[in-house]
Structure 1
Amino acid sequence: MKADGFRALSVRAGSAADVEHLVTLDPVAGSDGGERRAAIQRWCRDGAVLVADTPTGLVGYCVVEYTFFEQGFVTMLMVAEPARGHGVGERLLRAAAASCRTGKLFTSTNLSNHPMQRLLERIGWRSVGMVHGLDDGDPEVFYLCRSAGTAGEA
Structure 2
Amino acid sequence: MNIVAAQMPDLQAIVQIDSEMIGNTSRRNMIENAIKQKHCILVKENNEAAGFAIYDTNFFECTFISLVIVSPGKRRKGYASQLLNELVRTSPTEKVFSSANRSNLSMQKVFEANGFVESGIVENLDEGDPEIIYFQLK
Same fold (TM over 0.5): yes
The SS at the match of 2:27 is helix
Identical-pair percentage:
27
Q: Structure 2: 5+ residue runs without aligned partners? A: none
Tell me which of 11, 19, 31 is aligned to 1:19. 11
* Separation of aligned partners in 1, 2:98 and 2:50: 20
Q: Structure 1: 5+ residue runs without aligned partners? A: 1-8, 149-154
Question: Contact 1:128 / 1:142 at 8 angstroms: preserved in 2?
Answer: yes
Q: How many residues align?
A: 138
Question: Contact 2:52 / 2:83 at 8 angstroms: preserved in 1?
Answer: yes
Give CA-to-partner distance per residue, 1:6-44, whole Å, 9 cap, x none: xxx011111111101101112268744x43111111111
* Shift, 1:56, TM fit: 4.4
* Shift, 1:145, TM fit: 1.5
Letter matched to residue 17 of structure 2: L
Larger-gyration structure (1/2): 1
Q: Which runs of 4+ in 1 moved over 3 A?
A: 28-32
Query: Are positions 1:52 and 2:43 aligned together?
Result: yes
Give CA-to-partner distance per residue, 1:37-73, whole Å, 9 cap, x none: 1111111111100100121401000011101011000
Question: Contact 1:72 / 1:101 at 8 angstroms: preserved in 2?
Answer: yes
Matches within 5 A, 1:52-131: 52-131=43-122
Indicate the residue corresponding to 1:6 in structure 2: none
* Separation of aligned partners in 2, 1:30 and 1:107: 19
* Separation of aligned partners in 2, 1:119 and 1:30: 20
Give CA-to-partner distance per residue, 1:99-154, whole Å, 9 cap, x none: 001010000110000000001001110001001111110000000013x2xxxxxx
Q: CA RMSD in A?
A: 1.4
